[in-house]
Structure 1
């Protein structure tokens, strides 16, 4: 930690703490995730190191960039870029009930999908997609962050059945204690899209039991008709109760009303198609 000076603590989660720091060298700001590993078994430590290796290999304009990691005093530290635009959750709350334009929603949504495609194409599950994990840079680019609990998909290891993440984003299959799969990420993506359209959570209840009931029924208040039929029918597809009926991220991006927006977010070296 010698290279960094703490600015303030900006979050605490199941993984540990998130601290805003600045580099003593050049004054650049970063976020450091501090994860306590002293209490972990050696197998869990190996897992978390493997996870960091996965993070280190992620390089995409719509994914929060990993800088470095190190272990010190019983903690694992992961250094990531800091997105000064804050997160989507705060942005939604700051609207005070004023709906976003459809163009704005679709621009953000396409960027989130491009990030998720990068992840899913590598057989990785994000497992914690929520508006608090989607960040805005100062030029308005959207970046998916916090792979704190992403796990590399390994067909031999049965997917962790653990129920993690914010309950609002739990999919019906997780509520029914079935394994997490890539379509559970798609359900959470639907929850984020719904929030962008309504400024509210799709599934809300006073307690966990009622929340689970609502999720399993797949009943949510309709989205305003001021949004297009295409957008509303996409939401209905993302909220299919059977994960097999939900579209993959690739088929979402193939939808004409979204695919026409992709080009403006691709950097030239990523863009292989000139059409």
Structure 2
């Protein structure tokens, strides 16, 4: 830590803290996440080390950048980009009931979806998508997906994670029912964020956990304002399909013309080529004749073979 000046503590959890700091050599701000291995069970320690490997692979304009990591005195330190704005939940609360314009909502939503596409294409689940884990910078113009603290890798595209994690408001029906889940659980949480951007409220609320779970499992939510386009309202309904199989993948979401047209605002042509080329290639492969009896994965398959299906 001798290379950094700590400015203040900005977060605290069971196994560590997060600091706003400044590099002594370049005076650049960063966030340093400190994880105390001494207090941590072995499986948590392994998860933290895995997080570092994950973070090092994530290079995208809409994902919080990982700068590096080091260990000192039984502690792991993860150094990350500092986003100079607030998180999306604070930004929503600041509206004090005044709805965002559809243009602003779509700007943020497309950027969040591009970040999520990047990790889903690499067979990683975020598992804790919520407004507090989306960070704004450059006067709120840029949205970045952050906090991969409980992300998990899907080594096999059909492998399903079973751990019940996340914030109650963002839980999907399959988690509430203790069923297996995959990338479509992140899509449900993405729907919760989009709904909050449209209404400034959580889509599912209850006086107690049982009531909340009931509403989630029935996908019972108040409709968003008719001031928003049919495209946007229809998308929210599809993100909140009770069956994971019925929800669109992030790739098919981004293929919708009203969203696809915005992508070039946020990604350079080089990054677009890099991010979308392999999906085009795999789509071409999936359209080739298949041997008899071979089933091509559908929308809830993390392989990108059927991503054009809505």
- Asked if the contact 2:204–2:216 (Cα under 8 Å) also holds between the matched residues in 1, the reply is yes
**1:231 corresponds to which residue?**
232
1:110 equivalent in structure 2 = 110
In structure 2, C-alpha distance between the alignment counterparts of 1:137 and 1:119, rounded to whole Å: 20
| Cα distance change on mapping 1:43 and 1:91 into 2, 3 Å | closer
The equivalent residue for 1:138 is 138
Q: How many residues align?
A: 273
State the partner residue of 1:85.
85
For 1:147, the equivalent position in structure 2 comes to 148
TM-score normalized by the length of structure 1: 0.94
Gaps of 5+ in 2: 277-310
Structure 1 alignment gaps of length 5 or more: none
| 1:207–1:43 Cα change, 3 Å | closer
Distance 1:174 1:267 in 2: 37
Taking structure 1 as reference, are residues 242 and 63 closer, same or farther at Cα in structure 2, changes over 3 Å only? same
Partner Cα separation in structure 2 for residue 32 and residue 89 of structure 1: 21
Counterpart of 1:244?
A: 245
Task: Supply the distance in 1 between the matched residues of 2:43 and 2:163 (Cα, whole angstroms).
Answer: 17
| Equivalent pair of 2:123/2:157 in contact (CA under 8 Å) | no
Matched, 1:168 2:148: no
Give the distance between the partners of 1:22 and 1:3, measured in 2 at CA. Answer: 9
- In the superposition, the TM-score normalised over structure 2's length comes to 0.84
Q: SS of 1:97's equivalent? A: coil
| CA-to-aligned-CA distance 1:8-43 (integer Å, 9 cap, x gap) | 111234663221111122221111112222234545
> Counterparts of 2:138 and 2:83 in 1: how far apart (Å)?
7
Q: Report the equivalent of 2:256.
A: 255
**How far is the alpha carbon of 1:190 from its aligned partner?**
0.1
Partner of 1:201: 202
Q: Provide, for residues 117-139 of structure 1, a one-character-per-residue CA deviation record: whole Å limited to 9, x for no partner.
A: 00000000011100000011125
User: Is contact 1:68–1:80 with CA below 8 Å preserved after alignment?
Assistant: yes
Indicate if the aligned counterparts of 1:216 and 1:241 stay in contact, CA closer than 8 A. Answer: yes
Matches within 5 A, 1:5-154: 5-13=5-13, 16-139=16-139, 140-154=141-155
**SS of structure 2 residue aligned to 1:63:** coil
Q: Work out the CA distance in 2 between the residues paired with 1:222 and 1:138.
A: 32
Contact 1:38–1:75 (8 Å) recurs in 2: yes
Deviation of 1:85 after TM superposition, in Å, equals: 0.9
Q: For residue 267 of structure 2, what is the aligned residue in structure 1?
A: 266
Q: Provide the aligned C-alpha RMSD in A.
A: 1.8
> Which string of whole-angstrom CA distances, capped at 9 and with x for unpartnered residues, describes residues 34-56 of structure 1?
22222345454333212211111
